[in-house]
Structures are given as C-alpha cells and as structure tokens.
Structure 1
Amino acid sequence: MKVKRYDVVVIGGGIGGYYSARALKREGKAVAIIEKNSFGGTALRWGALPVKKVLDSFKGIKKHDHTEIKKTREYLIKKWDEDLRRLESKIKDNLLEDKIDIYFGDGEFLDSETFKLREDVIETEYFIIATGSEPASIKDIVIDGTNIITHREAIDLKNMPKSITILGGNVEGIEFAALYAEMGVEVTIIEKENNILFENDVDLVYPIEEHLKSRGVRILKGIGAKNAEVGRTGVKVLLDDGRMISSEKALVTFMRKPNFPRGIENTNIKISENKIIVNENLLTDEKNIFAIGDINGILGMAHVAVQQGLKVADYILKNISVNISYEILPRAVFTLPEMAGVGRQEWELKRDNIPYKLGTYSFKDSWRGWARSIEEGFVKIILDENNKILGIWMVGENVSEYIGLMGYLIKEEKTAEEILSNLVIHPSLTESILEALIESKDKKVIK
C-alpha cells in the first residue's frame, strides 16, 4: 500500500470538481482529483456540451438548404469520435498543466480523512464530493443501454437510429429532440405535463415547439408512458391511454439517481434517498467534507456545480462563507432557437398574485437585427409596480450568450430608469433590451 497525502481531494471529474480543483491548486494547495470513468461528466462529456456543439453546427443554415444540412451531418459523424477524444484530452491536459494529481478508479472512504483506491491510500485535510448523478430506470421502463438508452448512448452520433421516442419534454429531452431532428431522425416526444419545458412561460416555449414541429418532431403532451417493451424491430412504448408508440430506440430523460461514493457509511455523512445532505456552506456532517453539484440535490445544473465548486474553494482558502443567490440563477435551453433568462416569469407572478408590468421587443425590429436579416426571437422584460427588474427572458439564436451576468441587475434591484440611463453598443441586439424596457415601464400593471 502506498500512502499519499494532500490538502484537498476532489472525488469526481465533472465540471464542478474540475473548477474547484483548479481554483484550489492555483492558490498553492496540494490537490488530487479522482475520476471513476472519464473526465467531463454530464455537462462536458456525456450530453450538454456535445449537444450544443451539434446544434451550433446547424446555426445559420437555411432549413430548406438540404445539401448544406446533409454535408453538416456527414461532417459531424465523421469527426465525432475524434472531437470527443480531443475534449477529454483538453480537460485532462488542463489539470495536468496545473500539476493536479489524477487518479482513475472506483475507490471508497475508509474514514473522513482517508480514501482507498486499489493500492493507493489517499489521506487529505478536505474532501470535495462531486460525483453527480446518473439516469435511472423506472419500474416498467428498464434502461438497457442499447434499445432503451440514456444521454450517454444518445450522444453517439455514429450510431444514430432512424427513429427515437424521447420520454420527457424537460430540458434534456427537448435539447436531444432538437439534436436528433437536425440529424434527420424521426422523433416523438412523450410528456406527461400539458406543456413541454414545464414551468416556463408559454410565449417562451412556443417558438421552440414550433421549430421542432417544423422539423417533423411529433409531440404528445398530457400523457405518460406506462411501460416499454423491446422487440426484434425496436422499442414499443405503451402510453397511459393504451396507445403504442414504436421506434428503433427510446431515450429516458425524466429519472436520475445520485452517485454516492462507496464507503460513505464509514463517515458521518448523512444522506437521503436522492442526495447528500449539506448545510449552507455545502458542508456535510463531517466538518472537512463538502458536496457540490447534483449530488447535493440543490439544483441539477452545470453552472450551479461550477459556482458551488468555486465557492467551496474560497471557503477552504479564505474561510469565506458560501453565498449563492439561487433565486437569480441564469438559465438556458440550448435548442434552435435558444431560450435563456434570469429572474421571475409570468406564471410564477400570477401564481403568487404579484402585480407586474410587461414589455417585449423582437430582434428583427432592432437595427442590428435588420442588418443581419434576423427573422425570429424576442426579449421579454418583467418589472414590478415600481419599475424594478423582476425578470429578463429571451428567445432567439445564441441568446444564452447575453444572459450570464444579468442576474446582478435583479439582485441589486435595479430599475428600468437606471438601466436606460446607461449606454449599450449601437447597433447591437442588446438594444432590444432597452426597447423592451421603454415599452414596459409605462405599461399598465397586470394583476
């Protein structure tokens, strides 16, 4: 047995673990990272980033330009394995460049300061658990990785089915539906709620749904899936109303389970069925063990894991309390078109009986929109009765690029007048925000 000692050991090489490890190493800590499979996790390797890469490839292509669409599909398939290898190498190279020790394997806790991995015993002052979550089967829909698949198999462009049924009209399901539709696959979405992208305003979802339909995607709403059977010709999904949907494969997106590290019972860490329990500083019941990202069950989003990883690094390095404003978390759906925003939406305000004002402006009506011949997309601004910003939402190409730092406007309770007193680049699509503000601030209050 070889015993190695570190200041911090990160368990899990996903996006949260990656950022926390690098932040700690750059401040002089001795850091190791342990990864069970391959670096990147769901965010970078097994879904989110690869999906976005595929969809980015189709941006700017006119939907009737079949020759260009075909060329793009062929290029993506030809280069796909190489691209994913390069992605994994980039992550690993960045860690090695920072002189972070890397271990591969599925180890276990021996106690709160010791982790065993094959012949290595790793001791540390702090652990950061960043092991994430993985897709889960339900009783009568059992994932087999071949016919009934998860995002891990779905991202394999070299084994695209001719048809697929996607179980779940959530963000993951709709992003994969967009990817498969662009790749020429016949897609059916099953969503038990009455709307896809549930808990988003209808006007924000509508352009995404219409684009999917224009690509031939069949969307069944308000109906659940009862079970799925694998046969010689593919998968048959039985719906609650007795209908049967047949396709070559079925993609499960609506169930996930936590990846608890082995040996967790050898510590004082408390868990529930689907998460590790943490306090406001993301500490477990062990004073030296943190849990970040999906595994703590707070919010299953990659940028939450990144933020938590960086905040935990600050806590270890400088004893700065973790303080994350989850209520102003920016969000995005990477479809064609994209949806992105921050703050409250109309449905939430109506549910809570909060009066508000509303302003919208189409990108095509902006000067830059005219210059670029933009045909779709809009900005939606929601204000309170005193013109404070409650929400900023957008639909359109690449709108996720504009939202990142806008949560600060809501956190600082900025008003429409304060924003309008500042300048933005002219001509730019950002001017659409100003136009929406001008429209909204003098509007009648909606109650």
Structure 2
Amino acid sequence: MVNKKYDVVIIGGGIGGYYSAMALKKGGKTVALVEKNSLGGTALRWGALPVKKALDSFKGIKDKYNETKNIRENLINKWNEDLSILDSKIKEDLINENIDIYIGNGKFIDSKRFTVEDEILDAQYFIIATGTEPHSIKEIPIDGVNIITHKEAIDLTHIPKSITILGGNVEGIEFAALYAELGVDVIVIEKEDGILSGNDGDLVEPIETHLISKGVKIIKGIGAKSAKVSKGAVETLLEDGTIISTEKALVTFMRKPNFPLGIENTNIKTNENNIIVYENLLTDEQNIFAIGDINGILGMAHVAIQQGLSVADYILNGIPVDTSYYILPRAVFTLPEMAGVGKQELELKEDGISYKIGIALFKDSWRGWAKNIDCGFVKVILDEENKILGLWMIGENVSEYIGLIGSVIKDGKTADDLLSNLIIHPSLGESIREALLQGKNRR
C-alpha cells in the first residue's frame, strides 16, 4: 500500500467537509478529502440544492397552464445534465485548490492513519464530516424503488403519478411543494397535529394553503403504521386503519448516523445517534474533530458550513469554536418560502415571556405594488422594551433576506436601532420598517 502524508484529512465530501477543506487549503495546509459516494452530500447533491433549483423554476408563475407545462418538460429533460454540471463544479472547485480527492469507503487504522482503496493517509488532524442518511422503521422498509428516500425522490427523470410523503417536516413539505408543481398527486401524512411542527401557525398557514390549492392532501394527527408493496403500488396503513395506495412512498421522518469504518480502532466515543464531541468540536481523540450532522448538535447545512469553517480556523489560528446557536436562521424552501431568525410566539408562550408583534404585508409596500405581489408578510416580535426577539417572513425568495439578521438579535438591538437606519425606497425591505413601527407602538 502507498503511504501519503497530509496536514488534514477530511472524511466526508458534503457541504461541511467541502467548506472546511477549502478554508484549510487556502490557509496553507495540505488537505485530502475522502468521499465514499458522490461529492456534495445531502445539501449540495442529494436533496437540498437540487430541490431548491427545481422549485425556483416555478416562481412567478400564476397558474398559467401552458407555461407551467413547458417548465415541467424542460426541467425533467435537462435534469441529468444539470446534476452532471453540479457534480463537475464541486469537483473542479476542490481540484482547483489542489485538494486531493479520494473516492471510496475508507477506514481508520488508528487515530493517525486512515486507509482508502490501496492507500494509507497519514495526517496530523482528521475531520469527520460523514453526516447522516435516511432511515425508517422495520414496518416501512425502504427499498429504493417503491418506498424511497430523498436520494431517489430527487431523480426527476422518473416522476411517479402519485406519492405518499411520510412526514410533514421541512424535507417532506419541500418535496410535497415540488411534486405538486410537477403534477403529481401528493398525500402528506403527519403524525403531529400540524405540518412544520415547531413553527407559528400564521407562518405555516400560507404554505399549507398553497399546497392544498395545488391538490395536495394533508392528513394530520395520524401516523403511518406500516407500508408494503402490492401489485406495483405502495399500500400505507395508517394508525386509524385507513389504507392509502400510491405509486410510491417517500420516507422523511428518520435519519441514522454514518459512522466511519474503523472508528472502533480509535478512542472516539459515540452513542446511538452521533459522535460525541467536546470543546472545539474535538472528539476523545485530540486530533480528530466531528462536524455537521454526525455530531448531533444541529442537523442543518448552514450549521455544518459554520462548523467546518470554525474548525479550520481553530486548526490554522487557534481560534476557539463557537457553537452557541441560540440565534439560528432557518428557512423552508416552499412556495411561498418561510424564513426567519430568533424566537417565535409559541416558544415565548411556553416560556411565559411577554412580547409584542408587528406584521406588515408585502403587497401593502410600494415595491410590492409595483411587483404585483399578492401574498407574504414580515412579522417582528419585540419584548416590552422593544428589543427584537424574532424576525420572520413568508413570501417568494424571503430566504435571501434573513442571513445576517441574526446579528441584530444577538447584539440586543431594538426596533429604534433598526428604524434609525436608512432602508432603500422602494424596496420590499420597507416592510420590515412598517412591521417594526406597528410592533413598537403596541401595548
């Protein structure tokens, strides 16, 4: 076997591993990245980004049948070509930075060596970024053909006529939105009393209303008990005895960790769902880090990116890793989108905290009028001293506006602090001002 030495070896070519590798290489380290399947992971290649790209195709369409039909056909016909371009872009970015890429299911020999194919990678540091993968219960066995995961669901060259989506979570609802636009008969099964659990009802309602208007059937408060394939269809048995038959079923409600092979040859500790990490995202091996979903802190792509960059900064400059995510931007990429940062009303009610809200509709802004916007709003949540506790939006592309708002809340800014800034006129951002003014003046 060939022995190669690196400063850092990253195990997992998803979004966290990608950003960490790029940052470390730019910082002067020799870097290798190991990926067992395809580069990009769930965020870039197997779900999140492709779903968003597909949904973007339908934005701005107002039920124009012929236009929607043409979009569907063009999207499906070009899908494999688009994903091939995406694969090439990820690989080229890494190669252009002179990052060595190894494709194969490698294994730890010990805390200093990792073998992949016929090569041994010797490194000062390892970063585990192997993520998680879809999982199910034994009564609903995933076969990848009829009972599928997001990896199969994103193959738009094989669109079913009907599908049952098991789980009204973010992944399930985003796929429901996409499949509805593609003309698929969609049924969503959600065991909780509402979809997108953990979000305020007024934020969820426009998304649910749009899905229903597209023919999506949403069953709430009843879970799926089992599923089986019969005569080319999937029969899903619900807890109340109802049987739903569709061409395919998409499982979204569970995930399991991708522990790297040979982890038992190190001192790394794990539990059932994740690798245990401590300060600076270090494991029980003081040269091995774990970032992203595999460490179980928060299963979101932007968290994995931040952790990947932070660990790189720690290795390069000794800067401690900050994992305080109490101010966490979130988005649901549906039609319309939901995005926001900070607290929601349901959290404040649970904690018994007094608050005020201000709401401004995008259609009431001058820019909203000019763009013929007919839905969406801004919602700000303030405490009794007008400090901003949360800022949330519903509307087209609102995920683009939220990214840096977290610093406003983290720094304890008030409504007056934001109102003292100039907001471009005319712009949809003026709706934030209107919501702040409304909330500020409430008792």
Q: TM-score band (shorter)?
A: over 0.9
Over the aligned positions, Cα root-mean-square deviation in angstroms equals: 0.5
TM superposition shift of 1:347: 0.2
The secondary structure found in structure 1 opposite 2:281 is coil
Q: 1:96-135: CA deviations, max 9, x gaps?
A: 0000000000010000010011210100000000000000
In 2, Cα distance between the equivalents of 1:336 and 1:116? Answer: 45
In 2, Cα distance between the equivalents of 1:325 and 1:68? Answer: 46
Q: 1:310-333: CA deviations, max 9, x gaps?
A: 000000001100013311110000
TM superposition shift of 1:442: 1.5
Aligned AA (1:31): V
Aligned AA (2:46): W
Q: 1:350-376: CA deviations, max 9, x gaps?
A: 000000011000000001001101000
Q: How does 1:238-317 map to 2 (within 5 A)?
A: 238-317=237-316
Which residue is equivalent to 1:111?
110
The secondary structure found in structure 2 opposite 1:324 is coil
The secondary structure found in structure 1 opposite 2:174 is helix
Q: 1:215-265: CA deviations, max 9, x gaps?
A: 000000000000001011310000000000110000000010000000000
The secondary structure found in structure 1 opposite 2:165 is strand
TM superposition shift of 1:62: 1.0
Which residue is equivalent to 1:10?
10
In 2, Cα distance between the equivalents of 1:409 and 1:31? Answer: 36
Which residue is equivalent to 1:439?
438
Aligned AA (1:11): I
Which residue is equivalent to 2:384?
385
Which residue is equivalent to 1:354?
353
Is residue 20 from structure 1 mapped to residue 20 from structure 2 by the alignment? yes
In 1, Cα distance between the equivalents of 2:27 and 2:380? Answer: 40
Asked whether the 8 Å contact 2:136–2:253 carries over to 1, the reply is: no
Aligned AA (1:364): K
TM superposition shift of 1:390: 0.2
Identity %: 70
Structure 1: state its 5+ residue gaps. Answer: none
The secondary structure found in structure 2 opposite 1:364 is helix
Aligned AA (1:362): L
Q: How does 1:169-248 map to 2 (within 5 A)?
A: 169-248=168-247
The secondary structure found in structure 1 opposite 2:272 is coil
Is residue 409 from structure 1 mapped to residue 395 from structure 2 by the alignment? no
Structure 2: state its 5+ residue gaps. Answer: none
TM superposition shift of 1:432: 0.3
Which residue is equivalent to 1:100?
99
Aligned AA (1:35): E
Is residue 30 from structure 1 mapped to residue 33 from structure 2 by the alignment? no
In 2, Cα distance between the equivalents of 1:84 and 1:118? Answer: 26
Is residue 52 from structure 1 mapped to residue 30 from structure 2 by the alignment? no
Aligned AA (1:160): I
Aligned AA (1:24): L
Q: 1:297-351: CA deviations, max 9, x gaps?
A: 1111000000000000000001100013311110000000000000000000000
Aligned AA (1:380): K
Aligned AA (2:27): E
In 2, Cα distance between the equivalents of 1:304 and 1:340? Answer: 16
Q: Normalising by the residue count of structure 1, what TM-score does the alignment of the two structures yield?
A: 0.99
In 2, Cα distance between the equivalents of 1:390 and 1:329? Answer: 12
Is residue 61 from structure 1 mapped to residue 35 from structure 2 by the alignment? no
Which residue is equivalent to 1:330?
329
Aligned AA (1:434): R
The secondary structure found in structure 1 opposite 2:16 is helix
The secondary structure found in structure 2 opposite 1:157 is coil
In 1, Cα distance between the equivalents of 2:228 and 2:37? Answer: 29
In 2, Cα distance between the equivalents of 1:355 and 1:412? Answer: 20
The secondary structure found in structure 2 opposite 1:95 is helix
In 2, Cα distance between the equivalents of 1:268 and 1:280? Answer: 16
In 1, Cα distance between the equivalents of 2:424 and 2:275? Answer: 45
In 1, Cα distance between the equivalents of 2:297 and 2:242? Answer: 36
Asked whether the 8 Å contact 2:344–2:381 carries over to 1, the reply is: yes
In 1, Cα distance between the equivalents of 2:385 and 2:138? Answer: 51
The secondary structure found in structure 1 opposite 2:157 is helix
Q: How does 1:112-191 map to 2 (within 5 A)?
A: 112-191=111-190
Q: 1:374-408: CA deviations, max 9, x gaps?
A: 00000000001111000000000000000000000
In 1, Cα distance between the equivalents of 2:431 and 2:117? Answer: 57
Aligned AA (2:56): D
TM superposition shift of 1:139: 2.0
The secondary structure found in structure 2 opposite 1:235 is strand
In 2, Cα distance between the equivalents of 1:119 and 1:299? Answer: 35
The secondary structure found in structure 2 opposite 1:204 is helix
In 1, Cα distance between the equivalents of 2:293 and 2:8? Answer: 20
Aligned AA (2:32): A
In 2, Cα distance between the equivalents of 1:396 and 1:231? Answer: 40
In 2, Cα distance between the equivalents of 1:317 and 1:358? Answer: 44
In 1, Cα distance between the equivalents of 2:23 and 2:281? Answer: 17
Aligned AA (2:26): R
Aligned AA (1:259): N
188 and 328 in structure 1: CA distance in 2 versus 1, 3 angstrom threshold: same
In 2, Cα distance between the equivalents of 1:233 and 1:266? Answer: 45
TM superposition shift of 1:280: 2.9
Aligned AA (1:15): I
The secondary structure found in structure 1 opposite 2:205 is helix
Q: 1:56-83: CA deviations, max 9, x gaps?
A: 00001112x1100000000001100010
Which residue is equivalent to 1:43?
43
Q: 1:260-296: CA deviations, max 9, x gaps?
A: 0000000000000000000131110000000000000
The secondary structure found in structure 1 opposite 2:407 is helix
The secondary structure found in structure 1 opposite 2:198 is coil
TM superposition shift of 1:137: 2.0
